[in-house]
Amino acid sequence: MELQTQVAYLFLLALPIACIAWTVTHEEVFREPSDFCKKKSETSKKLVERKLFYTNLL
């Protein structure tokens, strides 16, 4: 496969992934799970839980 074809495929795959990432991180649809993770990361007593929910903040 030629380099130009590979680059074109790379950009074609990147577009839907970027759209999905934007939707998950910026839209109100995911506000409740985001608030839940934020609350758990701030109030949990266990270090492992705090780190797990902190990394899952949307």
pLDDT by 10s per residue, the chain, length 58: 899 999 999 999 999 999 988 887 788 888 888 888 888 888 988 988 888 887 655 4
pLDDT at position 19 is: 93
* Alpha-carbon dihedral sign for residues 15, 17, 23, 26: negative
Residue 38 CB neighbours (<10 A): 15
Q: What residue ranges in the chain does DSSP mark as E strands?
A: none
Long-range contacts formed by 41-44: CB under 8 A, 24+ apart: none
Radius of gyration of the chain (CA): 17
Query: 33 with 58: CB under 8 angstroms?
Result: yes
